[in-house]
Amino acid sequence: MRAGLSQTARLGQELKINPRLYQAMDMLYMPLLDLQAHLKTELELNPFLELDEEMEEVERDDETDGEAAAEELADDVDADSNDTGDTGDPDDLERDTDADVDGLDETLPASDPIEATADDEPDWDALLDDSYEKENGTTEPAQDSFDPFERVSGAQASLLDSLRDQLEYLTLTPRQRVIADEVLGNLDQDGFLGASADEIIASLNASIRNAAEAMDRETDDLPYYTVPEAEAAIALVQSLEPAGVAARDLRECLLLQLKALGRDDTLAARLVREYFDELAAHRWGELAKRLGVTPQEVQAASDAVAKLNPKPNGAESSNRTDYITPDFIVEKVAGEYLVFINDANLPRVRVSRMYQELARDKKRFDAEQKEFVAGKLNAAQWLVSAIEQRRQTMLKVMTFIVERQHEFFEKGVQYLRPLTLREVADAIGMHESTISRVTNDKYAQTPRGVLPLKYFFSSGLATVDGDDVSARGIKATIESMVKNEDPFTPLTDQDIVERLEAEGIKIARRTVAKYRDQLGVRSARMRKRV
């Protein structure tokens, strides 16, 4: 065996994304409000950035001066610390956006839980209650207690607050209040009660037992809660507003609402109470025979039930207003649809001229300071460049969408054309992932309303004439047909297929059924009136 040395060469390729490209991709992904917050943060952290209070664009010579100052400093800084791998090519975004950047998202650390302290005396109501009595007699949440409703949705939190406020007006013993709070804690986001009376008292009694064991007390003779107390607490909460809250199922929810309306002795209440499944199946004739009434009376009672709220908290949730700040504004000017970036409220930033001049005086700084200044100056230049790059990219994408969907803006959703991300990417010379970032969580204010950009993208079907029609347009056509049908002879899926074929759209019956289900339109038998 011979010992010796050998040398081999291996060629490899590695994809690296420079910080400038990271920043550009992140800013493309940001909705308008997120970008606004990001710019405000950068203004606070980077002294080389300043507000352009005159709302003027950064002049080109300022950019050149800033780049020159940064280059002069970079010459005096170690090459390893300044080599970003940036080519300065504005087309880098399009070439490299298929790289995985999911790791850029940061997760906020969860706050440490705060342990509540127990009283020395075995006051079971106090042990189960997170409140304390002030000197003036009012009750307020404990300062160091964990709020179990802190992380629930706004709609649910609003419902719980409303129910708690209503309980404050009732005269309740501490024991009744504790078990009523336990009932509230088991409500889901729709207002339904997600636990039985047995489960509620089991949870309360377990807390009592654990507290006693922690204080080395006997657990045999404790003031445990009972099922009748839980049932009484459930009935108490069910008497509050909105009607139907704390119901265990849909049937009970509807009956509670009918009772609140004074209709618990009507035909509608009897149908819900005794024939709920038949009522849901619209078996008017069968129900009419059983009850000795006409099918029209059964259907009228069913219509009354249909007007009730199937979710106790649904009305409150539906009335919530979600405000959207559009990223684009599409307006018709002189017969043409023009696209504008809605960035009037964005901070206009530029590289500070004063700090540029300071950076030119290299004698002021040592090596470490030069590295810091060069980094901040480069970051400022990158940010200004990324903002403009984001703006131009978004304009290109939205302008193409408006041109492609011109008939939609003129005539309505039935004329929405099929469109994919790849089509937009190929048309404007960018990567498909770039288009995805531009259109994700972005909205446009148009003459047809405020719409998400994803609204304009859908698959399509070919017509007999060879034209394409979008799936969204077909759904709108189906919805219009159903809306204008004869309620006594509703359109079947086959009828809809035949009508679409008459308009040049060849589509399978099962596809019509799928679109109808997606629209929330019931079958012809369920829509039929008697």
- Over residues 161-187, the mean pLDDT reads 89
The position carrying tokens 């090459």 is 79
98 has pLDDT over 60: no
> What percentage of residues in the chain have a pLDDT greater than 90?
16
The b-or-e profile of 259-295 (16+ CB within 10 A means b, else e) is bbeebbeebbbbbbeebbeebeebbbeebbeebeeeb
Closest residue by Cα to residue 88 from 350, 381, 374, 359: 381
So what's the pLDDT on residue 314? Answer: 64
Which tops the pLDDT comparison, 150 or 406?
406
Judged by average pLDDT, the poorest of 11-25, 388-402, 505-519 is 11-25
Residue 18, C-beta contacts closer than 8 angstroms, at least 6 positions apart? 84, 85, 86, 92
Burial classification of residue 329, based on how many CB atoms lie within 10 Å of its CB (0-12 exposed, 13-18 middle, 19 or more buried): middle
Domains of the chain: 153-188+192-238 (no CATH), 250-311 (no CATH), 460-527 (1.10.10.60)
Burial classification of residue 234, based on how many CB atoms lie within 10 Å of its CB (0-12 exposed, 13-18 middle, 19 or more buried): buried
Residue 130 banded pLDDT, cuts 50, 70, 90: very low
* DSSP letter, residue 187: B
Which tops the pLDDT comparison, 239 or 47?
239
Measured between alpha carbons, how far is residue 184 from residues 172, 337, 476 in Å? 15, 52, 41
Whether the Cβ atoms of residue 382 and residue 46 lie closer than 8 Å to each other: no
Whether the Cβ atoms of residue 29 and residue 339 lie closer than 8 Å to each other: no
The b-or-e profile of 392-419 (16+ CB within 10 A means b, else e) is ebbbbbbbbbbebbeebbeeebbbbbbb
CB atoms within 10 A of CB 421: 18
- Secondary structure of residue 193 in the 3-state scheme: strand
CB atoms within 10 A of CB 351: 24
Which tops the pLDDT comparison, 328 or 471?
328
- Over residues 373-381, the mean pLDDT reads 82
So what's the pLDDT on residue 83? Answer: 44
Report pLDDT digits (tens) over 443-460.
999 998 899 998 888 776
Whether the Cβ atoms of residue 393 and residue 30 lie closer than 8 Å to each other: no
CB atoms within 10 A of CB 208: 19
Orientation of helix 19-29 relative to helix 432-439, angle to 10°: 50
412 has pLDDT over 60: yes
Closest residue by Cα to residue 374 from 388, 353, 356: 356
So what's the pLDDT on residue 123? Answer: 55
So what's the pLDDT on residue 523? Answer: 83
18-27, 460-469, 499-508: which has the highest mean pLDDT?
Answer: 499-508
77 has pLDDT over 80: no
Burial classification of residue 420, based on how many CB atoms lie within 10 Å of its CB (0-12 exposed, 13-18 middle, 19 or more buried): middle
Whether the Cβ atoms of residue 384 and residue 349 lie closer than 8 Å to each other: yes
- Over residues 508-516, the mean pLDDT reads 86
So what's the pLDDT on residue 468? Answer: 58
- For 222: left if phi > 0, alpha if psi spans -120 to 50, otherwise beta; the answer is beta
The position carrying tokens 């003027």 is 56
381 has pLDDT over 70: yes
Closest residue by Cα to residue 355 from 84, 52, 70: 70
What are the backbone dihedrals phi and psi of residue 444, each rounded to the nearest 5 degrees, phi first?
A: -130, 130
24 has pLDDT over 80: no
So what's the pLDDT on residue 55? Answer: 47
So what's the pLDDT on residue 56? Answer: 46
Count the residues in the chain.
530
Report pLDDT digits (tens) over 191-250.
899 889 999 888 888 888 888 788 877 767 778 888 999 999 999 999 999 999 999 999
Residue 112 banded pLDDT, cuts 50, 70, 90: very low
For residue 498, give the H/E element and its range: helix 493-502
Which tops the pLDDT comparison, 267 or 460?
267
Write out 221-241 in H/E/C secondary structure. Answer: CCCCCCHHHHHHHHHHHHCCC
So what's the pLDDT on residue 347? Answer: 80
350 has pLDDT over 90: no
- Over residues 130-147, the mean pLDDT reads 44
- Over residues 361-389, the mean pLDDT reads 80
Whether the Cβ atoms of residue 528 and residue 487 lie closer than 8 Å to each other: yes
121 has pLDDT over 60: no
Tokens of 395: 């304009």
